[in-house]
Amino acid sequence: MAWVNFKQLRKSLDFEKVLVLYGVTVKKSKGNRHQGFCPLPTHHGKRKTPSFSAKLDWGAWQCFGCGARGNILEFAARMEGLDPANMQDLRQVALKLQEHFGIVPTGDGNSEGNRQDEPDAKQPTGLPTIVNAPLDFELKNLDPKHPYLLGRGFTPETIEHFGLGFCSKGLMKDRVVIPLRDHKGALVGYAGRVVDDRRISETNPRYRFPSGRERDGVYYDFQKSQFLYNGFVLARDGRFHEIQVVESFTACWWLRQNGFQNVVGLMGASCSSQQADLIVRLVVPGGLVTILTDGDDAGERCAVSVFTEVAPRRAVRWAKLQDGKQPTDLAATELEAILGKK
């Protein structure tokens, strides 16, 4: 059970029980609030006044003496002598609490099929939220020569262009990681795809997307619905007379490798209004948006959603695939036949 669903864990944890676990005698007052001496090992100064206050319903706490504050996990991390600002430390303490309270982590919703159509989860804390904020780290030592990528026919040039590589440690262990850059080019997260499909399960989904994180009272969230894959590369180059819109990462890689450079991916089976805005921004007035989705019911629903969102502002064409076909099944000549000349 090495997987943590942070959103679920935060909802499942009972702050009072966590306080008790760390030796705090809880004294409840109005508003389900606990007030007492600061229990933190990092507390400076004397403990003469009850400077530590915890809102049990909210899972938020602060100390007026030492100035520390945070959420339940950050409290536990400090009590363990760990660094609450360090993701690995938070994960370590999350695993411990998860196990102690018998919380079984659920998958992040992408365990079904090849699709990534889970709607963005809403964070429950009521904290100020920043969506798709730039990351303050980059994954290193990714292996671009992994057989998963080469075996599916992707060339070293394609792999390099998208910055893909196999990750052998951390949260993305045993996955091909896919850097996600916003329309300004900032790295906002990584998606990770399992390389061995036999190991896909409820707790080990085919695709893993960035999970939300809390720091200093701010919630940092990743939302696919506000993101267009490969959109940055296009935005950098200006505006186009024609672009292609596909559902998946792999379709994006495949089209580009076969000469269709102006391709963007929705990373899901529908087009949000924010994604439509990003698409429209990339196409000159009078230009054309071509949809190439999978040849199945979900692909058709996806195409309809692109139509609905984009057609009022740009011409939209649907390059419909035969039943059961995916863009990655098509050779270059077939792509050209259905999409027109590159």
Output DSSP code: residue 229. Answer: B
Indicate the residue among 55 and 213 with the shorter CB distance to Zn ion: 55
Name the residues that contact Zn ion, by CB under 5 A. 38, 40, 43, 63, 65-66
φ/ψ region of 31 (left if φ > 0, alpha if ψ in -120 to 50, else beta) reads left
d(CA 178, CA 201) in angstroms, rounded, equals 20
What is the closest distance, in whole angstroms, from the C-beta atom of residue 45 to Zn ion in the complex? 8
Indicate the residue among 84 and 105 with the shorter CB distance to Zn ion: 84
Indicate the residue among 43 and 256 with the shorter CB distance to Zn ion: 43
Indicate the residue among 78 and 208 with the shorter CB distance to Zn ion: 78
Burial label, 80 (beta-carbon count in 10 A; 0-12, 13-18, 19+): middle
What is the closest distance, in whole angstroms, from the C-beta atom of residue 49 to Zn ion in the complex? 10
Indicate the residue among 40 and 188 with the shorter CB distance to Zn ion: 40
Give just the sign of the alpha carbon dihedral 258, 261, 263, 265. Answer: positive
DSSP alpha helix (H) spans, the chain: 6-12, 15-21, 72-79, 87-100, 147-151, 156-162, 231-237, 249-257, 273-282, 297-310, 332-339
**Closest Cα partner for 264 from 232, 309, 310?**
232
- Give the angle 197-109-135 at the CA atoms, nearest 5°: 95
Indicate the residue among 26 and 66 with the shorter CB distance to Zn ion: 66
Cα→Cα distances 124→12, 14, 150, 264, Å:
11, 14, 41, 31
What is the closest distance, in whole angstroms, from the C-beta atom of residue 13 to Zn ion in the complex? 21
Indicate the residue among 38 and 228 with the shorter CB distance to Zn ion: 38
Structural tokens at position 25: 């005698």
What is the closest distance, in whole angstroms, from the C-beta atom of residue 55 to Zn ion in the complex? 16
What is the closest distance, in whole angstroms, from the C-beta atom of residue 9 to Zn ion in the complex? 24
What is the closest distance, in whole angstroms, from the C-beta atom of residue 65 to Zn ion in the complex? 4
What is the closest distance, in whole angstroms, from the C-beta atom of residue 90 to Zn ion in the complex? 19
